[in-house]
């Protein structure tokens, strides 16, 4: 996959109407609908400002949450949940949609930009069309939630064409959504010249660079809860990494596969054979595979559980591994010390409990000290690094949870593939 794409700087934007796909999928308070973190809106500002300052008229769009776009599908979903079809009311569906309007995002964006953000009550309907047509250079319009259109998630060409017809240029800056082939993330690129904004550019530069052309040795640190959710990542990294380090919950499946005792630790019995194969595959490929040599185990899955350090594979009955042990920490820190590039996905332990965050913190600290390019991918890993206070010490923290995983899996991302290649 080519990660070298044209950006907003490579095209003329003055006097153009730009359809800008943002990731405004912000977390909201379930009761009040209030935006609980505006991080994603703030992250979109540089590209928006660049476009406005350079004389473009910006038609911004995004999805928010998972609205059900038609009443029929809403009824179907409710029936699946055990409700009687005749008891499902149209008002309930409308209410569910209202909760996912982008209107509060328009308001917050306007405060952050210090200028009016015109809001359209639909995506490609009369309101959007009229407001887009009247939009002047330096002005910004935000369309309603793209998923209110049933064609969005189906990548319906009619919807893509209708969205494209309002603009002269498509800019994608929603990295969190590039792994989805939807009308607004990929489909529109069939009808407009398509380039990346600054957020995607940065992700491609660092994540893409680390995968396509890493400074070696390339060390991959993999952790998190399950082996099964990381198969694609492990497979791909086995092809490109020099060293793979395993920690977190997934380590116990590896340990059990080698005949170790793992007590009540997270174990995916169905994936033991796979783990064994991985160990063999690493050997044949000459990839160094490091597994924990000791573990911090607890007598309960709780922040204040009793804990003890034991050798890997010797977890007593009734105990469960919640973090890597001190000898493992030393081993892993040494392995990253002379790395050229480190890709980290998945915490080393249950970092949400301070007592079991030590392994994750030690690895974060080691990364902060290496001269290696350090790249963090994955939602929880990014949260862990931020929570532990090492965010500004990393080369790059990916903003896309699911998208960054698919990136690490080496998959072709539809929202990236659709952009024009750089010359």
Enzyme catalytic residues: 40, 226, 379, 402
Cα–Cα distance measured from residue 14 to residue 29, given in angstroms and rounded to the nearest whole number:
38
Beta bridge partner(s), residue 306 = none
Smaller CB separation from ligand ADP, 198 or 252: 252
Q: Kindly list the residues in this chain that would bind ligand ADP in the complex (CB under 6 A).
A: 223-225, 229, 248-249, 266, 321-322, 345-347, 349-350, 352, 378-381, 401
Cα–Cα distances in angstroms (integers) from residue 135 to residues 129, 161, 205, in the given order = 10, 19, 33
Are 218 and 240 contacting, i.e. CB atoms less than 8 angstroms apart? yes
Beta bridge partner(s), residue 222 = 246, 345
Are 5 and 195 contacting, i.e. CB atoms less than 8 angstroms apart? yes
Structure token digits, residue 101: 């309007």
Task: Provide, rounded to whole angstroms, the least separation between the CB of residue 234 and ligand ADP.
Answer: 12
Smaller CB separation from Mg ion, 340 or 379: 379
| DSSP run (H or E) holding 358 | helix 358-369
| Residue 346 touches which member of ligand ADP, Mg ion, none, C-beta under 5-8 Å by kind | ligand ADP
Furthest-apart CA pair in the chain: how many Å? 70
Cα–Cα distance measured from residue 270 to residue 231, given in angstroms and rounded to the nearest whole number:
13
Position of minimal CB gap to Mg ion: 380
Cα–Cα distance measured from residue 94 to residue 90, given in angstroms and rounded to the nearest whole number:
6
Task: Provide, rounded to whole angstroms, the least separation between the CB of residue 342 and ligand ADP.
Answer: 14
Task: Provide, rounded to whole angstroms, the least separation between the CB of residue 378 and Mg ion.
Answer: 6
Task: Provide, rounded to whole angstroms, the least separation between the CB of residue 395 and ligand ADP.
Answer: 17
Helix ranges (DSSP H) in 19-70 = 39-53
Q: How many CA atoms lie within 13 A of 328 on its CB side?
A: 28
Smaller CB separation from Mg ion, 70 or 228: 228
Task: Provide, rounded to whole angstroms, the least separation between the CB of residue 381 and Mg ion.
Answer: 8
| Residue 266 touches which member of ligand ADP, Mg ion, none, C-beta under 5-8 Å by kind | ligand ADP
Smaller CB separation from ligand ADP, 148 or 356: 356
| Residue 187 touches which member of ligand ADP, Mg ion, none, C-beta under 5-8 Å by kind | none
Smaller CB separation from ligand ADP, 148 or 319: 319
Cα–Cα distance measured from residue 286 to residue 385, given in angstroms and rounded to the nearest whole number:
30
| Residue 242 touches which member of Mg ion, ligand ADP, none, C-beta under 5-8 Å by kind | none
| Residue 248 touches which member of ligand ADP, Mg ion, none, C-beta under 5-8 Å by kind | ligand ADP
Q: Kindly list the residues in this chain that would bind Mg ion in the complex (CB under 5 A).
A: 379-380
| Dihedral, CA of residue 406, residue 410, residue 414 and residue 415, to nearest 10 | 70
């Amino acid at each position: 996959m080519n990660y070298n794409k044209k950006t907003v700087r490579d095209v003329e934007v003055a006097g153009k109407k730009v359809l800008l796909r943002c990731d405004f999928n912000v977390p909201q308070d379930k009761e009040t609908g209030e935006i609980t973190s505006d991080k994603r809106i703030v992250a979109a500002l540089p590209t928006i400002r660049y476009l406005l300052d350079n004389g473009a008229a910006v038609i911004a769009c995004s999805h928010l949450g998972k609205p059900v776009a038609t009443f029929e599908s809403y009824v179907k979903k409710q029936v699946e949940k055990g409700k009687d079809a005749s008891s499902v009311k149209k008002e309930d569906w409308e209410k569910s949609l209202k909760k996912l309007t982008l209107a509060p995002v328009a308001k917050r964006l306007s405060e952050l930009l210090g200028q009016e953000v015109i809001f359209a009550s639909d995506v490609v309907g009369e309101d959007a069309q009229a407001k887009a047509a009247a939009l002047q250079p330096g002005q910004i319009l935000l369309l309603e939630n793209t998923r209110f259109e049933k064609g969005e998630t189906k990548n319906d060409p009619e919807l893509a064409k209708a969205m494209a017809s309002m603009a002269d240029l498509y800019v994608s800056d929603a990295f969190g959504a590039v792994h989805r082939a939807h009308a607004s993330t990929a489909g529109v690129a069939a009808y407009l010249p398509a380039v990346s904004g600054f957020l995607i550019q940065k992700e491609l530069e660092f994540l893409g660079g680390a995968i396509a052309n890493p400074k070696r040795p390339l060390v991959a640190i993999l952790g998190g809860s399950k082996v099964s959710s990381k198969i694609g990542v492990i497979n791909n990294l086995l092809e490109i990494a020099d060293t793979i380090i395993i920690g977190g919950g997934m380590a116990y499946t590896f340990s059990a596969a080698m005949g170790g005792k793992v007590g009540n630790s997270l174990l995916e019995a169905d994936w033991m054979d796979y783990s064994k194969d991985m160990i063999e595959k690493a050997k044949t490929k000459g990839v160094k595979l490091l597994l924990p040599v000791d573990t911090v185990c607890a007598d309960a899955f709780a922040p204040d559980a009793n804990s003890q350090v034991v050798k890997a594979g010797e977890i007593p009955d009734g105990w469960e591994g919640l973090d890597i042990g001190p000898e493992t920490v030393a081993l892993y820190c040494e392995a990253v010390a002379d790395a050229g590039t480190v890709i980290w996905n998945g915490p080393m332990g249950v970092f949400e409990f301070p007592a079991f965050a030590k392994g994750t913190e030690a690895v974060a600290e080691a990364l902060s000290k290496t001269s290696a390019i350090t790249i963090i991918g994955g939602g929880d890993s990014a949260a862990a690094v931020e929570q532990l206070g090492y965010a500004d010490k990393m080369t790059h923290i990916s903003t896309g949870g699911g998208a960054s995983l698919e990136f690490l899996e080496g998959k072709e991302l539809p929202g990236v593939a659709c952009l024009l290649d750089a010359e």
